[in-house]
Amino acid sequence: MKLKDKVAIVTGAGSGIGAETARRMAREGAKVYCADIRAEAAEKTAKEIGGDAKSLELDVTSSSAIAAAVERISREAGRIDILVNNAGITIVGSIMDLSEEQWDRELDINLKSIFLMSRAVWPQMAGQGGGVILNTASIAGITAIPADAAYCASKAGVVMLTKCMAVDGARSGIRVNCVCPGFIDTPMIHGYFNDQPDPAAARDYAVRLHPLGRLGRPDDIADAFVHLATDDAKWVTGTAHVVDGGLLAGLPG
């Protein structure tokens, strides 16, 4: 077990990539706090995992709620070794389609939350001699997706914030990396397809974009997070690790 006795917080753990990451980290021996704005979804994941896993109702855009949660975890568990900033949303639209409120909401949940969560755990991690912060970015942080402007901008911000935190955290033993998934089969991507004029065609098109011939699964991303959290990645920091079935490598054949 590669994460034995580690204490981990996973946000957006009520669904998709976050739920699978929480499960896999727990399987490697971590005590996982499953955080989500939807309390019952967080509880479901924690219950499924069983053992030491705990659920946490948390809105990652609320600095006061974050402060209370981190204080509780530090008190209860005595340390915080891993933070997975994974909660996210997508609101489809070009800049001409999006309202200012939608832009702010997407940037707050996808990007500002990482600033808020990371700085809340930072003193605990630095004080205990180090830790690992992992962020869910996206291939959309590297290449533009049509009619997804706020999402792409937020994820490009996640890639750069990852690098900034890696550089700033290195001396305190805090490693920071992000994963850039391709299209992953989760409720989020179902919503994205349903917002397209022809959802079935949008799904087929997305599958064809991946040379490996299928959409990704939550475990494809969770495996990358587990690797980056362990000592197998002890000299890895500041990376944007692409896990995309080959999507960014080139045009599909």
- 33 carries an active-site annotation: no
Cα 203 from Cα 220, distance rounded (Å): 18
Cα 124 from Cα 128, distance rounded (Å): 6
Shortest CB 129 distance to ligand NAD, Å: 28
157 binds ligand NAD (CB under 6 A): no
Of the candidate residues 55, 138, 162, 237, the single one contacting ligand NAD (CB under 6 A): 138
244 binds ligand NAD (CB under 6 A): no
Closest by Cα among 21, 16, 71 to 190? 16
57: enclosing H helix or E strand: strand 54-57
Radius of gyration, CA atoms only, the chain = 17
Of the candidate residues 46, 109, 156, 176, the single one contacting ligand NAD (CB under 6 A): 109
Shortest CB 221 distance to ligand NAD, Å: 7
Q: Which residues contact 59 (CB under 8 A, 6 or more apart)?
A: 37, 65
Q: Which residues contact 251 (CB under 8 A, 6 or more apart)?
A: none
Residue closer to ligand NAD by CB (options 172, 196) is 196
Other C-beta atoms closer than 10 Å to the C-beta of 142 total: 17
Of the candidate residues 7, 22, 31, 61, the single one contacting ligand NAD (CB under 6 A): 61
Of the candidate residues 16, 131, 157, 169, the single one contacting ligand NAD (CB under 6 A): 16
Shortest CB 235 distance to ligand NAD, Å: 25
Cα 217 from Cα 213, distance rounded (Å): 12
Shortest CB 239 distance to ligand NAD, Å: 16
Of the candidate residues 184, 222, 233, 243, the single one contacting ligand NAD (CB under 6 A): 184
59 binds ligand NAD (CB under 6 A): yes
Cα 79 from Cα 73, distance rounded (Å): 8
Residue closer to ligand NAD by CB (options 170, 188) is 188
Residue closer to ligand NAD by CB (options 207, 231) is 207
Q: What per-residue string of b and e applies to 199-232 under the rule 16 or more CB within 10 Å gives b?
A: eeebbeebbebbeeeebbebebbbbbbbebbbee
Shortest CB 233 distance to ligand NAD, Å: 19
Stretch that binds ligand NAD, among 33-41, 94-102, 160-168, 197-205 (CB under 6 A): 33-41
* Tokens at 52, concatenated: 């030491």
Residues engaged in binding ligand NAD (CB under 6 A):
11-12, 14-18, 36-38, 41, 58-61, 86-89, 109, 136, 138, 181, 183-184, 186-189
Q: Could you list the active site residues?
A: 151
